[in-house]
Structure 1
Amino acid sequence: MSVDFLALISVALLSSFTHCYAMCSGLNLAFLRLNAKEKSPLLLSLTYHSFRILAYIFLGLVFSSFGNMISHFSQSLLFFTLGVFMVLLGLAMFVRGNFLAFFERNFIFHFLREKMLKKFHFKGYKNAMFLGFLNGFVPCGLVYFYLALSMSQKNLFYSALIMFVFGLFTLPALLFLNFFSRFLNEKLGKIYLYLAYGIIIIYGVYYLYLALKFSR
């Protein structure tokens, strides 16, 4: 099915300066502090985030394959499930309630940041690749939204492209988080987030419409 990539870019950009900053910056900042003497910190960060994006693409392909298996039996059931999930996810992100907290619990990455990074002192480009890829698996409502979109795609290329777009357009905020995120979070943070979450809910309603359409 077709995807409005302008809407996907908007969600990624609008939410990256607040939600993504809150979810992904901890591990990233801890790693950068360990590599404070690195001669090319920007190149190190690009390496880190390139492998984060690779993890998203990998997950997109896996979820798309799973979605195709479900769609083979019932396309309307797949769209109904994704639609309900997106609406609930969007509403949960508005209120930041227990529903979202359950899916975004981050015990593994909290342990990694607080214990493993201090003990093993991850440094250099090989560790940037490892930790960046691992960062792609951080529990995050926005990642779930893009993975749900990937599941709806029959074409694996589009599934991979959806996840690439998400990763790419969260990159500016996470690369320059010390300046941009602080400024935009203070000035426009809530407005950006509400617009992004509103788009997620609209997508959910659209998928429910598709489920009704394919069930006839």
Structure 2
Amino acid sequence: MQPELYLSYSSAFVIGLLGSTHCLGMCGGISASLSMALPVGRGFRLRQTLLLMAFNFGRIGSYALIATLVALLSTQAASQWRWAGLLLMTIAGLLLIFMGLSMGQWWQGIRFVERVGTPVWRALSPLTKRFIPVNNAGQALALGALWGWLPCGLVYSTLGWAALQPTVPAAALTMFFFGLGTLPSMLATGYAANWIRGIKSNQGFRKISGVLLILFGLWTLPFQALLMH
């Protein structure tokens, strides 16, 4: 494995961790509902953990699958056209900057990007009703796999970054580590919804996360490559 990929995977994890308050607005409700639907009693915590883990790993698996599909196209384009790599880097950097501006509540232009996935979600969302209410881990896994296709600016931002990876497996792993970064907040939503809601509304946390995402985006932009050309 190339050393630079370790940086990509760790950075993807950090992006997921920083942007996870955005995930709470998109997926937090369904994650919390998995816990609330369970009867309190013996074995409650075990069942709760099982359902939350199944749902979230279904969601993360979808991120990896989407990255695989995108990378199949992006790696082929980059191999045929030299400018394609620069274009992908520019798009990925701008998406992260847009996401940072949204996280900091300075500009919500990322919502226009989220509309790109609306047709796919419109086709898949009716299928989620088949698995609600969730009674077992299999249903939670399937629901999470469908929920992973929900239009999300943070996912799209990282997806553009994952498309820069040199191989398809590397792109899938980038999104997998991104998903792992969102996992703590998503699990905490199920275990301690009120505490997480407080973090989500903390303006200082949101602005710091937004600035860091913007810095990630600026770091991704191909300034050096453009200067060399």
> 1:125, CA displacement in angstroms?
2.3
Find the residue that maps to 1:154 and give its secondary structure.
coil
Q: Does 1:49 pair with 2:53?
A: no
Match of 1:9 in 2: 13
**Cα 1:161–1:145 shift into 2, 3 Å:** same
Whether 2:37 is the aligned partner of 1:30: answer: no
2:77 and 2:220 map into 1 onto residues whose CA distance is 15
TM-score (norm 2): 0.75
8 Å Cα contact 1:80/1:211 also seen in 2? no
The match for 1:205 is 218
Alignment of 1:1-216 (within 5 A): 2=5, 3-16=7-20, 18-36=21-39, 40-72=47-79, 73=81, 74=83, 75-95=85-105, 97-104=107-114, 108=122, 116=129, 121-177=133-189, 180=192, 182-183=194-195, 185-186=197-198, 189-208=202-221, 209-213=223-227, 216=229
Whole-angstrom CA distance in 2 between matches of 1:210 and 1:43:
47
Q: Contact (CA 8 Å) 2:13, 2:181: kept in 1 or not?
A: yes
Aligned length: 211
Distance 1:26 1:5 in 2: 27
C-alpha distance in structure 2 between counterparts of 1:194 and 1:171, whole Å? 21
Specify every segment of 5 or more residues in structure 1 that has no aligned partner in the other structure, as ranges: none
Question: Normalising by the residue count of structure 1, what TM-score does the alignment of the two structures yield?
Answer: 0.78
* 8 Å contact kept, 1:82–1:204: yes
Distance in 2, matches of 1:207 and 1:162, equals 15
Partners of 2:196 and 2:129 in 1: how far apart? 32
Percent of counterpart pairs with the same letter?
25
Letter matched to residue 45 of structure 1: L
SS in 1 for 2:151: coil
205-214 vs 49-58, which moves further: 205-214
SS in 2 for 1:177: helix
Secondary structure at the residue paired with 2:33? helix
CA RMSD of aligned residues (A): 3.2
1:98-117: CA deviations, max 9, x gaps? Answer: 523334467859x769x937
Verify the 8 A CA contact 2:92 2:158 in the aligned structure 1. no
**Change beyond 3 A, Cα 1:34–1:162:** same
Alignment-mate amino acid for residue 97 of structure 2: V
Q: Which moved more, 1:166-175 or 1:1-10?
A: 1-10
Distance 1:166 1:35 in 2: 28
- Bigger mean CA offset, 168-177 vs 36-45: 36-45
Distance in 2 between the 1:203 and 1:176 partners? 25
C-alpha change, 1:161 and 1:173, in structure 2 (3 Å) is same
Which deviates more from structure 2 when the two are superposed, residues 80-89 or residues 147-156? Answer: 80-89
Distance (Å, rounded) in 2 between the aligned partners of 1:187 and 1:63:
33
